[in-house]
Structure 1
Amino acid sequence: MTGEWKGTISVIGEKNYLIDSFRRPPLNVVNFTGEDGESIVYLASSSPGLFNGDEQEISCRLMEGAHLFLTDVSATELHPSLTQQECRQNQIFQLGKNSKFEYMPEPLIPFKGSNYAGKMSIYMTEGAQAIVGEMITAGRVGRDEIFEYQCLQSRFEMYWDEQLQVWDSIRLTPESNLKENGVLGDFTHMSTLWILSEQINTDHLQHIQNEILKDDELSDVYGGASFLENKGIVIRLLGHSVQTLQKTLKACWNYFRLELFHLQPLDVLK
């Protein structure tokens, strides 16, 4: 089964609109305009999740000056099936000049026996900015189904003016004992936040390192932040629950939304 969504966001007046949208079931979208004029798009699926062998294609183009906040309505559940073929998710985002892109999807939950490969490609140009998150769980932790999937792969690519600037790949195979020290240790959840902007400076990095990641209320999270080689920051986090990681991600997102976009935090209803 292949689900697909393609969209185009354009700014008209002081508001952003989804001016072009194509979908192939089971993917569907709900969209509206936010209080600050951004286009808000929720991805929804009529399927209970991705099964081994399924494919999902998501792509969106932001025209010059456009602003999109993209998320999904619930976690992406990765199911096993009779085939051993991996399920795939391919995401491509093209950001026009001075556009803004925020993508905070719900977590990936790999069920026992599932096999997943995901890839995200982001194409940036002059003045474009993006805040992009990802979260991976160990499985259905409430059922003590921890690290029982076959394999989980996640690749991230970022281009500035068609030149590759970031290539990042995660490949988790539980049979290699992810609980070893030097791998995940006693942590079960991981997340990454990419901050892509020409406006990034040392003050931003120091605030993340010395204020947010050292907050006593976030003591259950282990994380670090570093500059990308060009125009950005990456933040890595490990934790024991979705809730603790989401709290840290939200603190980082709120900070950069204000610093880079000059906008107050966005309350996402789900």
Structure 2
Amino acid sequence: MDRTRPAVPGREPAPDRPAPGAGLSTLLARTRTGVLHLHFGERRGQTVLLRDTQKAPLMVIRPFTLPCGTLMVFIVNPTGGLLGGDHSEVRVTVDGGARVLILTQSATRVQPSPDGQAATQDIQFKVAAGGRLEYHPERTIPFAGSAYRQMLRAELDDGAQFGLTETLASGRVQAGERLAFASFESRVQVMVAGRRVFLDRQRLVPGEVTRAPGVWGDLDYQASGVFVGAGVVADWPAVPGQLATGFTAGGAVWLRGAAARGPQLDRAVVEARDALRRQLWNAPPLQIRR
């Protein structure tokens, strides 16, 4: 768009100037956006990291090959957590034949947001036929006064395998911050060959609604997940009153759980994950090295 100013006799038109502080705010916006793009493939029967783009504060440490042949990488954020206005962009592509496991080095700590801005995260996965991608991040802990919004989209070809588990705390429970965050939003969508097989949306705003039975009740930790594979699940992993699994209308396997203690729920999730991996993918339990 052509923007001009009327000429003043004897004076050159003044150039457009940014508003005071605009340059600083733009710079801060750029530096507070972490970027991580990873592309995995298969070379000579082994999964390798072909290309990566990293922009602080997001980065990965050197990949490790697990005994089962899966390539494991840790996403690292060396800062003290996510601040209001921070944005993370993660893009992962997995070619056919590659086996990839992505973990986070530590819990995602969402710091208070005095100005009300949400910390946001946008994650996109693409997995080709014959490829496998698993994403099992550490727990998300929203501090008192924090706001967080995450969008995760996985696009799979027919014949691709995908697994995701996530856990969320009601806050810093030991510090007395139960359900003291401002808001938490999450949207997870899984597509197979352009067809949606899983959609999970959550929006939590602490108050009477989040204390109602069936949402949080007296529990402080929740888990969710989804798995896609061609195998048949005959032995459904479940813990009465704590964790359940089942099929979506699109044929994906969903996982949902809640518990009073985090380690208790973590154990149930790992057991369910291993059971589903074995039945859907004929894969052995993960032997994670930290």
Identity across matched positions, percent: 23
Structure 1: gaps (5+ residues) = none
Query: In the superposition, relative to structure 1, how do residues 100 and 171 fare at CA in structure 2: closer, same or farther (>3 Å)?
Result: same
Secondary structure of 2:207's counterpart equals: helix
Partner Cα distance (1:257, 1:183) in 2: 28
AA matched with 1:246: D
Q: Is the 8 A contact 2:113 2:147 kept in 1?
A: no
Q: TM-score, normalised by structure 2?
A: 0.85
Equivalent position to 1:252, from 272, 279, 283: 272
TM-aligned CA deviation for residue 256 of structure 1: 2.2
User: What is residue 251 of structure 2 aligned with on the other side?
Assistant: 231
The answer on 1:78 being equivalent to 2:103 is no
The correspondence of residues 194-205 of structure 1 with structure 2, limited to 5 A, is 194-199=226-231, 201=232, 203=234
User: What is residue 225 of structure 2 aligned with on the other side?
Assistant: 193
The correspondence of residues 125-164 of structure 1 with structure 2, limited to 5 A, is 125-164=157-196
- The structure 1 segments of at least 4 consecutive aligned residues displaced by more than 4 Å after TM superposition are none
AA matched with 1:138: S
Cα deviation digits, residues 173-201 of structure 1 (max 9, x gap): 112442222322111111112111233x3
Query: In the superposition, relative to structure 1, how do residues 123 and 185 fare at CA in structure 2: closer, same or farther (>3 Å)?
Result: same
Structure 2: gaps (5+ residues) = 1-31
TM-aligned CA deviation for residue 202 of structure 1: 5.0
Partner Cα distance (1:10, 1:202) in 2: 28
TM-aligned CA deviation for residue 84 of structure 1: 0.9
Partner Cα distance (2:264, 2:278) in 1: 22
Cα deviation digits, residues 122-149 of structure 1 (max 9, x gap): 0011211111111110111111110000
Equivalent position to 1:2, from 12, 20, 33: 33
Aligned length: 258
User: What is residue 17 of structure 2 aligned with on the other side?
Assistant: none
TM-aligned CA deviation for residue 223 of structure 1: 2.5
User: What is residue 21 of structure 2 aligned with on the other side?
Assistant: none
The answer on 1:120 being equivalent to 2:152 is yes
* RMSD, aligned CA: 1.5
AA matched with 1:147: L
The answer on 1:106 being equivalent to 2:138 is yes
The correspondence of residues 18-33 of structure 1 with structure 2, limited to 5 A, is 18-30=49-61, 31-33=63-65
Partner Cα distance (1:36, 1:13) in 2: 16
Greater C-alpha Rg: 2
